[in-house]
Each structure stands twice: as C-alpha cells, then as structure tokens.
Amino acid sequence: MSSDANKVKSGLGEAFPEIGTIPYNPEAGPDESLVFRYYNRSEVILGRTMEEWLRFSVCYWHTFRGTGADPFGAATFVRPWDDNSNSLENAKHRMRVAFEFMSKLGVRHWTFHDRDIAPEGKDLSESNANLDELVNLALELQESTGIKPLWATCNLFSNPRYMNGAATNPDAHVVAYAAAQVKKGLEVAKKLGAENFVFWGGREGYQSILNTDLHKELSNYANFLRMAVDYKEKISFKGQFLIEPKPKEPTKHQYDYDAMTVIGFLRTFGLEQHFKINVEPNHTTLAGHGNEHDILMASKLGMLGSVDANTGSPDLGWDTDQFPMDVKSCTLVMKAVIEQGGLQPGGLNFDAKVRRESTDAIDLFIAHIGAMDTFARGLRNAAHLIKDGVLDGRIKERYDTFSDGLGAKISKGQATLEECEGFVLKNGEPEQKSGKQEHFERILNYYV
C-alpha cells in the first residue's frame, strides 16, 4: 500500500487530494468534467435557490460499497481507501472518505442502509454495537460538514435469512428479526437527523404462487408497517416514511410493483396517512412504464415524497442504475416537482453507479457532476415552461368542455347517467377532436 493510501486510512490524508470543491463555471469547455456548467446552487428560480429545489443526495451503497462486480465477472474497482475487509476500522476509513467526497461535491445530504455503513455481526447485538460505532462517527462528520441524511433504511434483503422475504416471510421468527432490525434503524435515523425513512421490499414478493398465501403475506406486511408507525411515534421520530416501488428483481413478483400498486395497498390497509412514495425511475421502466410515469402519478395523487434519481437502459430487462443524463426527462421530472411545491423533506438521491468499466475514482465525481448539471438544466427548462404557460394553456384548452354545463357537473361528481343520456340524445354524436400529440412534443422541444 502506498504512503498516500496509508495516510488516508489513518485519517490524516485526503482520498482526493487533487480535487478541491467543485466550482460553478458556465463558460467551461466540453472536455472540462470537474466543474458545474449549469448547477449554480445559489441561483434563484421561482423564489428558491437551485439547492433548495434539487436537494441532491449521494447514496452510500453504490458510491462507496460498489465494487464493479456483476453476475458474470469479478470486481473491477480498486479503491486505495478500502482494503475490502469487513472490519470496523475499514468501515470508518470508508466513511471518512465518503464525507470528503460529499463535501467536495457540495451536496448537503446522503442516504444509506444500516449494513452499508457497519458490518453485520454474528448476532443482532453485535450488529447493533457495530452500527453504534459507525453512527457515532457519522454524527461527528455530519456536525463538521453540515451534511445530514436525506433518508435512512434497513437492508432486509441481502442476508440469507431473508431469502423468502422479511416482513412477508412465512416464518414468524424471520419477521421478528426484520422488525428488530427496523427498530434499531429508526433509532439510528432519529439520532442522525434523517428527514425520511425508506422501506424497499426487495424480497417482499414471491417466486412461485404455488407455495404463497398472498393475503397472509400482504396482511403481515401491513401489520409490519403498522409496528414501524407505532415505534416512530413512540420515539418521536419526525421523518417521513417512504415506500419504494419495484416490480421484480430479486423476486419474480414484488408486491410494491409500481406507484399505483403501492398507493392501492396503503389505502386498502389504512396506511396512506403515514407513507409517501420514493420513486426510482429505473424501477418504473422495469414495470413497463415510461421513465417519468411513477413520479407524475404519485405527484398528481399527492403521494410523491422523494426520488431516487437514476435511469436504466430501456432495451435491457434489469436494473442498471445509471446516472440520469437525459435533459428532456429531467425537465419533465422537475416540472412535476415545481408544480407540487418541491420535494422537501425528500430530494433527488442519486441511486446510481458508475459503469463497471469506469474504474477511476475520479469517475465518481464526473458521474455525479454530470447528473447534477442535467437536473439543473431540467429545473431551468421546467421553470421557463411553467412561466410561459404555453403547454399548460394548450392542455387546459383540451379539457375546456369540463369548465361549464354538463362537463362541470361530471368533474364535480354531480352528474347522473340519465343526464348524460339526455345530453347525447339532444346533441348527437360528439365532434372528433385531434389530440395534437406532435404539436405538444414540439412545444416541449422548444424549451429543452
């Protein structure tokens, strides 16, 4: 190991000594990657700064636990600050590097699973003790940097005990273990000041319907979430609870399939007042929807709480967790965010990983900077689109028959089938009206 690496591991040196705080320079050239061309954190747009609208967050698991391994090949990343051991010492080195990275990037939030930051022990007591050590270090680093968790969560999918699920496991012993882990996770979230707490049910589903009692598993899942709500109130944790949809992978079918499925589940079991949705667009496309679909659906129904900002490859059938670099997509996302008044206490968390072939540590910076710039462009575009009002005006015109007469009564839920029949008998066949999709697409392209 080099002397520089030893300094980093001892906590005396920097992991990225060649990189300072990333500056904003709108005049930067195309080959300058360690600079923000569009993200100007203090720029005011529609009454708020970019930083307030975007609320960027770095995820711990992909950025500091990712190795570049995939099902067909071994790890490709070599990080000088990480000896690949499962020791507490190595976990602490890794955390110090993470906060250096986030500070230089200029983000104010981070996200993590409990098992990302601290090694799992031989039993629950040892795991909790390990977690306490790393949480104490995280608290020190948060206080010195001003960075705090956008959200925390528990890894209820990696350990073999959860192979048949956590909250939906057919063994009550496993469900109890998962509940105990969430109890500790909520205590950690409160101590670190997390603004949200996420439930992602990666194993909450089934591989075969033949050995599955669907109603029992869904009911147990709801009861598990009720226990979490009760404990949240007991310890006075003020964070927002979020559920993150995904249709499949690792299970064949995941109960939290998409935003509408989650909303339906919450309303069925009377939990809709306690939870909102954390949308990950790559999960949305795996469900067969467009990239922005779940964000728009959840937002329009008042249930969008946060976004795991990433994207996938539409031609692939698995979760690729790529950094979002499509300006048009980010424009549509930010239009929804502005229209609902912001994401707070949620934000844009980069649940994304550099490609297996992007092996330089500096690539971590380049990927985040590129995505942050893309969302900054999306924010500016969306603000311009909203202020001009052209697109929204055309949409309003399209539905203008609901502004008065029978249409207004339909919109208010005051019409009857008899009234509709009488209207049609009097007025005959409706006039065919073009949807003008191509015109709407051209309007959007004008702003992008």
3-state per-residue secondary structure call for 379-410? HHHHHHHHHHCHHHHHHHHHCHHHCCHHHHHH
Return the pLDDT at 176: 98
Contact in structure between 1 and 82 (CB atoms under 8 Å): no
Of the residues 93, 113, 283, 289, only one is catalytic, namely 113
Mean pLDDT of the region 394-408:
98
Mean pLDDT of the region 196-216:
97
**Residue 113 among the catalytic residues:** yes
Residue 201: CB partners within 8 Å, gap ≥ 6? 156, 165, 166, 167, 168, 221, 243, 246, 254, 255, 256
Query: Is the predicted pLDDT of residue 6 greater than 90, yes or no?
Result: no
Query: Is the predicted pLDDT of residue 78 greater than 60, yes or no?
Result: yes
> Would you place residue 299 in the very low, low, confident or very high pLDDT band (cuts 50, 70, 90)?
very high
Query: Is the predicted pLDDT of residue 3 greater than 80, yes or no?
Result: no
Structure tokens at 100: 């250096």
What are the tens digits of pLDDT across the range 101-128?
999 999 999 999 999 999 999 999 999 9
Return the pLDDT at 11: 52
Could you give the CA distance from residue 386 to residue 388 in angstroms, rounded to a whole number? Answer: 6
444's torsion region: left (phi>0), alpha (psi -120 to 50) or beta?
alpha
Mean pLDDT of the region 77-95:
97
The pLDDT mean for the chain works out to 96
What are the tens digits of pLDDT across the range 321-336?
999 999 999 999 999 9
Residue 281: CB partners within 8 Å, gap ≥ 6? 291, 292, 294, 295, 307, 308, 309, 310, 311, 312, 324, 329, 333
| Partners of residue 429 on adjacent β-strands | none
Return the pLDDT at 438: 98
The pTM of this model reads 0.96
Return the pLDDT at 317: 85
Could you give the CA distance from residue 166 to residue 170 in angstroms, rounded to a whole number? Answer: 9
Return the pLDDT at 314: 83
Query: Is the predicted pLDDT of residue 4 greater than 70, yes or no?
Result: no
Return the pLDDT at 5: 47
Say what percent of the chain tops pLDDT 90.
96
Contact in structure between 117 and 133 (CB atoms under 8 Å): no
| Cis peptide leading into residue 26 (ω within 30°) | no
> Would you place residue 316 in the very low, low, confident or very high pLDDT band (cuts 50, 70, 90)?
confident
What are the tens digits of pLDDT across the range 341-366?
999 999 999 999 999 999 999 999 99
Return the pLDDT at 95: 98
> Would you place residue 2 in the very low, low, confident or very high pLDDT band (cuts 50, 70, 90)?
very low
Closest CA to 279 of 231, 332, 325, 228: 332
Mean pLDDT of the region 371-392:
98
Using a 10 angstrom Cβ sphere, with 0-12 exposed, 13-18 middle and 19 or more buried, the burial of residue 308 is buried
Q: Pairing mode, if any, of strands 275-279 and 240-243?
A: parallel
Residue 84: CB partners within 8 Å, gap ≥ 6? 67, 90
Could you give the CA distance from residue 280 to residue 305 in angstroms, rounded to a whole number? Answer: 11
